[in-house]
Chains A and B, each alone.
Chain A
Amino acid sequence: MRLTEIIDLTQAEVVAGDTAINHNLQKAFSSDLMSDVLTLDTEHILLITGLANVQLIRTAEMADIEVVLLARNKKATPEMIELAKEIGLVLLETPYSIYRSSGLLFKNGLPPVY
C-alpha cells in the first residue's frame, strides 16, 4: 500500500520524513509493546502504535521499520521528531484508535505481519 493511501485512509498528519519517497508498505503490525516489535523478522513494515516516546523511534530504527503511525491522537515530542528525521523515518499522527486505523488499512488491502 502506498504511503499516500495510508495517510488518506487514517486522516493522518505527517510530522517527520519525506513523503515524496515512494514508500510501498507490504505489511503492518500494531503494538504498544516494543519488546514484541523487536522479535519480528519482517522488515519495511508499517508500525501502528499508541506509544509516544523516544524508544519507539529507536525500536523502529533497529527493526528497519520505514513508517510509524501514532494512533489515539498521541503527539510526537520534539525529541522524537528530531530523531525520526535524523534516521529517515516517516512519522505520522492519526486521531483514530489503533483498532480503527488497523481495521481501515486491513480492509483496504494492507496485510498483517502475522
Chain B
Amino acid sequence: MKLEFEIVSGDFSMAGKASSQIKKKLKQLQVDPKVIKRIVVAIYEAEVNVVAHSVGGKMVAEIDGNGINVEVKDAGPGIADITKAMQKGFSTASKAVRNMGFGAGMGLPNIKKNTDEFNIESEVGIGTTLTFRNNF
C-alpha cells in the first residue's frame, strides 16, 4: 500500500495531515500502538521540518506486511552541515516556528530515535531526502 502527500512550505495548519492519515491506516491494520506511536511521531517531526525549513516537498509512505518505509523529500534549500543538524539542540528555526512550539533542535534526533532504520542525504541548493523504516 502506497500513500503520497504534498507538504507545503509555511502551512502549519496542514502539518500533521499526513501523519494523522497514516496513523488511522496503521490502526485499521491493527499494528501495535507502541509501534504506531514511534512511526507517527517520526513522520510528524519530518512534516514539521519540511513546513518550517524547506520550500516544500513530498512524502511517500509504503506499508508492507512487515513494516513501513517512508521517504520525505524536499526541494531545498538543503542542509549545509548534517552532523550539526543531527545534534540535539542545534536549530536554525525562525522565531515564527519557535512560537508554534517547535524549533528546539530536537526534530532530526527524535526521528532517528523513533525509527529502526534512518538515512539523511542533503545537498545545498538541491534539497534534503530522509528515508526511514519501522518494522511491525
* A interface list, Cβ under 8 A from B: 32-36, 38-39, 43, 51, 53-56, 58-59, 61-64, 79, 87
A35, B107: Cβ atoms under 8 Å? Answer: yes
Known: A38-B44, A38-B45, A39-B110. A58 touches B101 (CB 8 A): no
Could you tell me the distance in whole angstroms from the C-beta of B103 to the nearest C-beta in chain A? 7
B33, B37, B101, B105: most-surrounded residue (chain A CB, <10 A):
B101
Task: Using CB atoms, name the residue of chain A closest to B93.
Answer: A35
Contacts of B23 in A (CB 8 A): 61-62
| A–B complex contacts, Cβ < 8 Å, 19 sampled | A32-B101, A33-B104, A35-B103, A35-B105, A38-B45, A53-B100, A54-B12, A54-B16, A55-B16, A55-B102, A58-B19, A58-B20, A62-B16, A62-B19, A62-B37, A62-B40, A62-B44, A64-B33, A64-B37
Contacts of B85 in A (CB 8 A): none
Contacts of B104 in A (CB 8 A): 33, 35-36
Could you tell me the distance in whole angstroms from the C-beta of B118 to the nearest C-beta in chain A? 16
Which residue of B20, B40, B101, B107 contacts A55 across the interface (Cβ within 8 Å)? Answer: B101
Could you tell me the distance in whole angstroms from the C-beta of B24 to the nearest C-beta in chain A? 10
B37, A61: Cβ atoms under 8 Å? Answer: no
A58, B44: Cβ atoms under 8 Å? Answer: yes
Contacts of B102 in A (CB 8 A): 33-35, 55
Interface of B is mostly: helix
**CB < 8 Å A-B pair total:** 66
A55, B15: Cβ atoms under 8 Å? Answer: yes
B52-75: CB near A (< 8 Å → 1, else 0) gives: 000000000000000000000000
Contacts of A62 in B (CB 8 A): 16, 19-20, 23, 37, 40-41, 44
* B interface list, Cβ under 8 A from A: 12-13, 15-16, 19-20, 23, 33, 37, 40-41, 44-45, 48, 100-107, 110, 113
CA distance A55 to B44 in the complex (A): 10
Could you tell me the distance in whole angstroms from the C-beta of A83 to the nearest C-beta in chain B? 9
CA distance A10 to B103 in the complex (A): 30
Which residue of B44, B48, B100, B106 contacts A36 across the interface (Cβ within 8 Å)? Answer: B106
A56, B101: Cβ atoms under 8 Å? Answer: yes
